Homo-oligomer: A and B are copies of this chain.
């Protein structure tokens, strides 16, 4: 462990790199003010009252230099019917962002580019408190207000460095692809610990589950490894979407940083993409049997796509496990195509499989089992082992690829969009054939075959 000055110097150097300079701040202020004004003009034309609030990291001074996101929320009366809110919200959105397009979270909203900034224009309800929300987005203005009251310039700087740290280790972002730390969660953790170094020191020592409740108002238990009770809503865990793995990453890299402070730990690792030959070499070195199911990526937003890929991957993994192919590790990739990739330890199973029947002493069951298999073709047995009937039957799938190529693939738990994409056709690659994935997923495969925490 170094003394405090060493880590302070590293943090200071990172802070300089990730803090927007004056020109960037000015540009942001200017663009944000224009957007707010456009939104307010559009609101004025509506038959209902509404106000416009800027939210998100650019509104709170905690964005990373180079990020160019502006989030505008249009707050409508709490009793406005949902259909009206959606209609008015989209109307405002399209006026603010004439070239924008509609996306859908809990409500539809408009997303578009404006002077080089990515802008979201989102309608919400102006509710009494975050506990009274009608949809998840209603909560955001409360988060914003809570943090604006508490974040000073030094803390905002620590938040930026913390975000850069998590980003470097692919643990930043509450989206369902990453399942990392939300910006709001980072802000709360830095505030709760009184600065970044204290947070890192604490995180290095956490033995999950760990719970924080900044306003000391939590009213329920959570199962999650990290619990941070939302200061604006006692019912909610801000870290609910965080994966155990990303929490562990924060802990691991906190220890690394405290043990030997260095700026490199704040820089993303960008591996060189593997070539097809590299992939073949990696597979040969491991002598495993990877199998990949590749199909056209379903045309849905990432927050829909990745949970479905995860569910499908886990279904495929379990299916291969149940058939005895002993998966070592699995991963999903998505770009133009989507891939469920499972690396199996077992390349081939015998022609037979053991099938244990009931204890001979359970007469009705036992007689039924014996009669079923007594004269069945292609069956060894029934014989008796430790008081039970056992038979050895023909096995359905002798290789991982045979399983993936069969209709059995559709019996595993798949996300609905993945299932329909697979129905339109898919390719199966096995063993060295997975090298074909390198053209599209060379970087992902580099990460897979040279894994770090």
Contacts and interface: CB of A to CB of B under 8 A. Distances in A.
B208 A384 contact: no
Query: At the interface, is chain A mostly helix, strand, loop or mixed?
Result: mixed
A425 interface: no
A252 B451 contact: no
Interface in A276-321: 285-289
A351 interface: yes
A362 interface: yes
Contact of A385 (B245, B349, B383, B392): B245
A81 interface: no
Given A208-B361, A386-B244, A350 B286 contact: yes
A328 interface: yes
Given A205-B363, A328-B354, A362-B207, A453 B348 contact: no
A225 interface: yes
A252 B354 CA distance: 20
Interface in A383-398: 383-389, 392, 398
B245 A384 contact: yes
B453 A389 contact: yes
Chain multiplicity (copies): 2
A317 to B, nearest CB: 12
Interface residues of A, number: 58
A247 interface: yes
Interface in A356-388: 359-363, 366-367, 370, 380-388
Contacts of A359: 207-208, 248
A398 to B, nearest CB: 8
A251 interface: yes
A240 to B, nearest CB: 16
A324 interface: yes
Interface in A9-30: none
Interface of A: 204-208, 225, 244-245, 247-249, 251-252, 255, 285-289, 324, 326, 328-329, 345-354, 359-363, 366-367, 370, 380-389, 392, 398, 449-453
23 contacts: A207-B359, A207-B361, A207-B362, A208-B361, A225-B387, A244-B386, A247-B387, A248-B359, A248-B387, A252-B360, A252-B370, A252-B384, A286-B350, A286-B380, A286-B392, A287-B352, A287-B398, A324-B345, A328-B350, A345-B349, A345-B350, A347-B348, A383-B451
